[in-house]
Structures are given as C-alpha cells and as structure tokens.
C-alpha cells in the first residue's frame, strides 16, 4: 500500500531521520515505539508530507514519487487518501464537531451537504458522540475531542491512517475510550500507522511493531518477537520501563 525508501531529514544541523525504509500492506496495523525525540513524529509526517524529507522515494498505491521533489499535485493527491490523528487533536475551534468531521467531504471530496452530513452523523455515532454534533470542540473532554479527531481523519475513508501518539495528551482515565475507538476502526481494514507509548495497546492492536531510536529503525517484528526475551538489548531496556507500569 505504502512503501518508502531511504528517507532522510535534517533540521539544520540535526539529523532527525537517517535513511529509513518502511512498508505497510493494505489493512496492516503497524505500531511505532521509541524514546521521545527519536524521530517518530517526523517520520510519520513524511508519509503525508506535513514534513518534506530531504531525500527518499515513496510508492503510494502503485505510484512512485521522489519525495524531496514531489509536486504539489502529487502531495495533494496523497493527502486526499490519508488521514491523520494528532497528539493534541488539532480540531478546528471555529467549527462545530460535525463541521470538523465533514469539512473535507464537502471541500475536497465533493460530497453534497446532505450526503456529507449523513456520513458525518454516522461517524459521530460510531465514535459515540452523536449528541455532540452541534457542540463546539472546546466544550468536549480530551477523550471526546480525540474521538472527533479520529472521526474527522477517517471521514473520507483514507487508505492510510496515521496516528501520532493519539492518547499522550489525555488524562489516564480518558485513554481507554480512545483506544477502544481505534481498535474498533481496525474493522475497516485500512492501513494504520500508530505511534504510541501504550505498550499493551501496541501488542494487542498491531500486526507489527517497529522500534525507532536516533532516527533509525533499530528493530522490527511481530508483537511476540518484540516483547520476547530475545529482543535486542536496547529495545528490551526501552520496553521494560513501560511493562513496569502495567504490572
């Protein structure tokens, strides 16, 4: 579905992504874990060109682009087929919850007002927020805002959904409701990349887990492999600090 090769990105002197290859199959769920500052956000943002890499090639749904020289048209085309859920939600404060969800349907995907509304309400029902359709985003709890964020991201049925630490900004008691929604949308069989610090969730939801450190993919494998005794020492050191939280 998506394949990137040799992505490199630096911010000034700082080399943030040092030649990463990554591939995800249709319907596959990949979790990316790794310490803060290791380049996880930067990497996943290159997938929808919120960050433009200095180097790299991308094959999206069969079409290959040189990422550094990608044309606006190519970038817009890829963004139409991807969705993203942000750590800090990024809901549009001047629009109602429903308008947040259906803006792209109306302005990008040429839905009629009525069709967009119908689809928007269906999505809000799915994330359990139908009664909040006309509310302003600021009146919602963090967990509710993030569920709207998810509904907005999947509204146009993207082929790839990127979630960058979707629960990291939430109070602990609100994490569960958001994770439940993410698990539920797995039923749609879109490809999903989830950056997360929720190790148990990664284990449960992901087909594959990738461990990033210092701008590189250090280890990659099935959840069983990644949490096994034979995992690389650096990874074990990282995951053990989290497993503690659950035991």
Partner 1 sequence: MNRFDLGILISSFFELAKALPLTLSVGILAMLIGLILGTSISVYRYLYNGPLNKMLAGYISFFRGTPLMIQLFLFFFGLPQIMPLFGRMNAFQASVLIMGINASAYVAESIRAALSSIDSLQHDAGLSIGLNRYQSMWYILLPQAMRVALPTLGNTFIGVIQGTSLTFMLGLNDLMGLAKMRAASNYRFFEVYLAVGLMYWLITILLSKLNDRMAQKLKGEAN
Ligand X SMILES: Nc1ncnc2c1ncn2[C@@H]1O[C@H](COP(=O)(O)OP(=O)(O)O)[C@@H](O)[C@H]1O
Q: Confirm if 219 and 211 have CB atoms less than 8 A apart.
A: yes
Least spacing, CB of residue 197 vs Mg ion, in Å: 10
Whole-Å CA distances, 208 to 27, 37, 198:
12, 21, 14
Residue 45 or residue 208: which is nearer to partner 1 going by CB?
45
Pair 32, 193: CB distance under 8 Å: yes
Q: Which of 39/149 has CB closer to ligand X? A: 39
Query: Which residue, 41 or 144, is less far from Mg ion as judged by CB?
Result: 41
> Closest separation between CB of residue 202 and Mg ion, Å?
15
For the bound state, the minimum distance from the C-beta of residue 38 to Mg ion, rounded and expressed in Å, comes to 9
Region 104-123 residues binding ligand X, contact defined as CB under 6 A: none
State the Cα–Cα distance between residues 163 and 169, nearest whole angstrom.
13
Q: Which of 8, 29, 33, 40 binds ligand X (CB under 6 A)?
A: 40
- Partners of 29 in beta bridges: 192
Q: Quick one: which of 7, 16, 58, 91 contacts ligand X (CB under 6 A)?
A: 16
Q: With contact defined as beta carbons under 8 Å apart, do 84 and 161 qualify?
A: yes
User: Residue for token digits 């109306």?
Assistant: 106
3 state SS of 242: helix
3-state secondary structure at position 230: coil
Residues 28-47 that bind Mg ion (CB under 5 A): 41
Q: Which residue, 35 or 223, is less far from ligand X as judged by CB? A: 35
| Partner that binds at residue 37, options partner 1, ligand X, Mg ion, none, CB closer than 5 to 8 Å by kind | ligand X
CB crowding 166-184: b at 16 or more within 10 Å, else e: bbeebeeebbebbbebbee
Note whether 187 binds ligand X by CB under 6 A.
no
User: Residue 11 binds what, of Mg ion, partner 1, ligand X, none (CB under 5 to 8 Å, by partner type)?
Assistant: ligand X
> Cα–Cα distance between 203 and 222 in angstroms, integer?
9
Q: Which partner from the list Mg ion, partner 1, ligand X, none does 48 bind, CB cut-off 5 to 8 Å by kind?
A: partner 1
Q: Which residues bind ligand X (CB under 6 A)?
A: 11, 14, 16, 34, 36-42
């Amino acid at each position: 579905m998506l394949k990137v090769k040799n992505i490199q990105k630096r911010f000034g002197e700082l080399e943030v992504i040092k030649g990463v290859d990554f591939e995800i199959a249709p319907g596959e769920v990949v979790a990316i874990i790794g310490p803060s500052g290791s380049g996880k956000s930067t990497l996943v943002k290159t997938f929808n060109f919120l960050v433009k890499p200095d180097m790299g090639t991308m094959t999206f749904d069969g079409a290959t682009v040189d990422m550094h020289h990608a044309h606006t048209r190519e970038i817009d085309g890829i963004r139409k087929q991807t969705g993203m859920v942000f750590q800090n939600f990024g809901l549009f404060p001047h629009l109602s919850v429903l308008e947040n969800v259906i803006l792209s349907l109306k302005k990008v995907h040429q839905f009629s007002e009525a069709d967009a509304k119908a689809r928007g309400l269906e999505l809000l029902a799915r994330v359990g927020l139908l009664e909040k359709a006309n509310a302003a985003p600021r009146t919602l709890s963090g967990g509710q805002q993030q569920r709207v964020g998810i509904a907005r991201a999947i509204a146009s049925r993207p082929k790839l959904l990127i979630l960058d630490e979707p629960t990291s900004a939430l109070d602990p008691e609100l994490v569960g409701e958001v994770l439940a929604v993410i698990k539920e949308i797995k039923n749609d069989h879109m490809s999903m990349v989830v950056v997360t610090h929720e190790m148990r969730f990664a284990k449960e939801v992901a087909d594959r887990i990738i461990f990033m450190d210092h701008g590189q993919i250090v280890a990659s494998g099935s959840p069983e492999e990644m949490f096994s005794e034979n995992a690389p020492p650096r990874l074990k050191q990282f995951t053990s600090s989290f497993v503690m939280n659950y035991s």
